[in-house]
Structure 1
Amino acid sequence: MSTANAYLTVRGIDVDVIYKDIKNLHIGVYPPMGRVRVAAPRRLDDDQVRLAVIQRLPWITRQRQQLRAADRQSEREMVVGESHYVWGVRRRLKVVERPGRAHIEIDGDRLILYVPASRSAAQRRKILDGWYREQLRQVIPDLIAKWESKLDVRVPAWNIRRMRTKWGTCNRETRRITFNIELAKKHPDCLEYMAVHEIMHYFERGHGERFTKLMDDAMSDWRSRRDALNAAPLANEAWSNKR
């Protein structure tokens, strides 16, 4: 069955729409980030779908809140054998307790944490957090430079933050792009998609037809990258409201 896709924003909520040869409209809210997807009959247009979503907003909001409040795996204790992801690759943690400066290295399929024995689990998580930030800092400049050239734009500022429900944001006034630190755990293609997505907001505020066209022209496989980004929750994280 052939499908046509639309990408809408309704009251600040991103909505994926798939038009199909079906009789009734169906709305779903999916983990891990509460993405809203609509399967709509072809006889409906974007405005009719938008109205249907608005009418179901109380239910959609409740579903998204339940997803965000759902229990995830226990907070990582930063001990030997735990799984941690780096650029989409699952690695087992090895902890080497020794005096001196704490740092992290990759050795084969292992993520090795060198740390004084006195450091607590919270302190070890902070070390890992800083290491993830550094991974992003190393690759984002070249990535942005690549797309500045391709799109003939300039990204004046960017930063990295821990965000609970968004992979990235764009402030159209300052043109600052913010990346979620969690992107260091995803495949590099996902980070590139997120960079292009946010840069596109320089040209188009919402996620309507024009935004979709811009994304299609710039990155033909953006939908598959987006789906890969949202496909599997990193459930071993203890998400907090701290930005």
Structure 2
Amino acid sequence: MNLSGLYQAFAKAGIRLSITKKCVKNINFCMKLGECHVSVPTFASEEVIILAIYARLSWAKQANERLCQVHAQPQRRLLTLWGEPHDLPDDDTEVLNIYRQHLSAKIPMLQSKWQPIVGQSAHTVRLRKMKTRWGTCHLGDRRIWLSVYLAAYPYECTEYVFMHELCHLIHANHGADFWSEVKKAMPDYQRWHGLLKGRA
């Protein structure tokens, strides 16, 4: 068998063979879906290469079959509630409804705990489907909006965002005085801030 015949043998098995000469001591195989990548030593003769690779044809077929089975299985999304994996439905609308229910139940607890700590009160706290920010504060009517997606993260993240928005009732911007208020209310806020940063 020559190299052409070797490539044909793999092609009949539905596998694209790729052979690359490298500065390696041994012949190394790497299987991907529908592909077999082989690294061979630069000093190896064509005869040695052909015999070694053809001997692995059966292995390559079995490995490719396993890869096909894995890729054929539907990939279930990892969904979390309060930072823990849960068996939530695949339907986005249903997931958001669950998040909304859980967050709504927490609002009275958030207000009773954090409003005395910050020394400010929100007239209303509402939930919104927000992907670009975790919360907002409307100073005029003292209304705080929280993203429903917060329910996917540890509860402390929701506490941080609510406390953060309350502090905006003292300082509207994100200046040094604002962050001083945040740290005073929640000394470990950076842990939860960091967890959410870049995820919105």
Q: TM-score range by the shorter chain?
A: 0.5 to 0.7
- CA–CA distance in structure 1, aligned partners of residues 168 and 142 of structure 2: 9
Superposition pairs for residues 110-189 of structure 1, below 5 Å?
A: 110-111=87-88, 113=89, 124-189=91-156
**1:215 aligned partner:** 182
- CA–CA distance in structure 2, aligned partners of residues 135 and 177 of structure 1: 17
Structure whose CA Rg is larger: 2
The structure 2 residue matched to 1:89, chosen from 79, 84, 89, is 84
- CA–CA distance in structure 2, aligned partners of residues 142 and 185 of structure 1: 18
Cα pair 2:96 2:149 within 8 Å, conserved: no
Q: TM-score when scaled to structure 1?
A: 0.49
Equivalent position amino acid for 1:176 in 2:
R
Equivalent position amino acid for 2:174 in 1:
H
Runs of 4+ with >6 A deviation: none
Structure 1 unaligned segments of length 5 or more: list them.
1-78, 92-109, 114-120, 235-243
- CA–CA distance in structure 1, aligned partners of residues 75 and 98 of structure 2: 18
Equivalent position amino acid for 2:77 in 1:
E
Cα pair 2:136 2:144 within 8 Å, conserved: yes
More strand by share: 1
C-alpha RMSD over aligned residues: 2.0
- CA–CA distance in structure 2, aligned partners of residues 203 and 187 of structure 1: 26
Deviations 1:204-223 (A, max 9, x none): 01011100111121111111
Measured after TM superposition, the shift of residue 129 of structure 1 is 1.4
**1:190 aligned partner:** 157
Q: Residue 202 of structure 1: SS of its match in structure 2?
A: coil
- CA–CA distance in structure 1, aligned partners of residues 102 and 75 of structure 2: 22
The structure 1 residue matched to 2:193, chosen from 213, 226, 237, is 226
Number of residues of Structure 1 aligned to a counterpart in Structure 2: 127
Equivalent position amino acid for 1:156 in 2:
H
- CA–CA distance in structure 1, aligned partners of residues 128 and 84 of structure 2: 21
- CA–CA distance in structure 1, aligned partners of residues 155 and 84 of structure 2: 10
Q: Residue 83 of structure 1: SS of its match in structure 2?
A: coil
Equivalent position amino acid for 1:225 in 2:
W
Q: Which has the higher contact order (CA 8 A, sep 6+)?
A: 1
Q: TM-score when scaled to structure 2?
A: 0.58
- CA–CA distance in structure 2, aligned partners of residues 192 and 230 of structure 1: 15
Measured after TM superposition, the shift of residue 89 of structure 1 is 1.2
Measured after TM superposition, the shift of residue 80 of structure 1 is 8.3
More helix by share: 2
Q: Residue 85 of structure 2: SS of its match in structure 1?
A: strand
Equivalent position amino acid for 1:141 in 2:
P
- CA–CA distance in structure 2, aligned partners of residues 154 and 224 of structure 1: 24
Deviations 1:69-93 (A, max 9, x none): xxxxxxxxxx8833211111123xx
Superposition pairs for residues 93-104 of structure 1, below 5 Å?
A: none
Q: Percent identity?
A: 28
- CA–CA distance in structure 2, aligned partners of residues 164 and 133 of structure 1: 14
Measured after TM superposition, the shift of residue 127 of structure 1 is 2.0
**2:7 aligned partner:** none
